Chain A
């Protein structure tokens, strides 16, 4: 497999009341072409920030991201993104929403209409072209989100909690369809999620991040055959070990938080007793 993307020593810090708050620390991993990568971690571990950096929407404080060998300096034409909030433009019809990326690239009207139509059919929304997003359910909105992301023919599709704002039953169907699209194309998928079964169901590899500051705690290979069965004993085994990894992190972060609190309390106490 070809190494398509390298994330090398990515660190992200934010200035925060005079100090530097470290959101991500020394994140390093590779992505191969056609892989399905899931990034999981406890909330606040900076996984969405990491995805933004990979998308070129945010810059790392140090370290770098390389795509096909070249340093990534901003959004890349071969990447597109699907958002938790769907981020459809409410004033555009479904067709116009799917056309958006092509429109920005200056694809002629008839051509982009045809392409958009094709992807609307792919995600099963034929007949809905002229409706507005408000007329669609959450699951359908995200289908539009996928159609829009696929329409520009990207090599990497980034997904930020793409299934989290949809009811579980609809999300399950959509995940299956995304897995199918992944199977049928050479495209690479990168999904940020906090949903363990979702990650195991979809991923070739799972990058587990630690609690703040986010580091790569472990990279878990999921060698299960597709389509994956959640009741499979190997599936459950992976789920258990991932759950333990994350639970450890959560406890760590809670303990760290408690210690910090205690220290502050101690300081206050010292000041008062002086």
Chain B
């Protein structure tokens, strides 16, 4: 990583690429510090992050109960999952133009699009995790006469949790890409439009600063939040 930045700085300093197309690393960092104190910029980053998070949460609330049903009830699984598979096979962004017509070109469209994209990884990992629960766990619960709610809280949920985390992680990484694409294609205000219009106006250092901001946020949430969760899981998981 550090080596990459040094090489970048070196190439720009040596004027191998015109500064108008590839400003030096130090210039981009300087631009980033200017941006970081600009409320408009912070608002845009926040807006993208908010749309992304809300989209994932919506997907979670819809996918989780469906996936649990599919994992626990075979009949539901054989009727419902094939439909999900067909819908999931569609390239997600293909529905975007239609969504924009239905929902307008605003945050709602972005959030809905994000949640559509986040749905599939969560659904399939949680379904897999539920099917994976050894039947003897339920026998233990039943021998001790555990009620349905207790069985869910104390067995199904903790057993599925690692799968849920990995599903969310896949969704999270994927939805970042999608959310930027939506912003650029459908002109939904956010960091994506900031990068796009900066680049169009020839302010490459601003576009690169935007990319670095997105990268830093995406990476730190991925490492910190998911890293912590996975660390906890690794303590007990075989």
Contact = CB atoms under 8 A, between A and B. Distances in A.
A57 B143 contact: yes
A117 interface: no
Contacts of A91: 158-159, 161, 236-237
B137 A89 contact: yes
Interface in A72-96: 74-75, 77, 79-81, 83, 85, 87, 89-92
A237 interface: no
B40 interface: no
Given A90-B237, A132-B235, A101 B139 contact: no
Given A85-B136, A87-B136, A89-B137, A75 B143 contact: yes
B238 A77 contact: no
A2 interface: no
A152 B144 CA distance: 9
Interface string A149-173: 0001000000000000000000000
B134 interface: yes
A100 B140 contact: yes
Interface residues of A, number: 27
Contact of B238 (A80, A81, A90): A90
B157 to A, nearest CB: 10
Interface in A45-87: 52, 55-57, 74-75, 77, 79-81, 83, 85, 87
A267 interface: no
B142 A100 contact: no
Contact of A101 (B137, B144, B159): B144
Contacts of B159: 89, 91
Interface residues of B, number: 21
B238 to A, nearest CB: 5
A261 to B, nearest CB: 32
A30 to B, nearest CB: 22
Nearest to A102: B144
A131 to B, nearest CB: 10
Which 3 interchain pairs have the tightest Cβ spacing? A87-B136, A132-B236, A101-B144
Interface of A: 52, 55-57, 74-75, 77, 79-81, 83, 85, 87, 89-92, 100-101, 103-105, 132-134, 148, 152
23 contacts: A52-B139, A55-B143, A75-B144, A77-B145, A81-B143, A85-B134, A87-B137, A89-B140, A89-B154, A89-B159, A90-B237, A91-B161, A91-B236, A100-B140, A100-B144, A101-B144, A103-B154, A104-B141, A104-B145, A104-B146, A104-B154, A105-B144, A134-B236
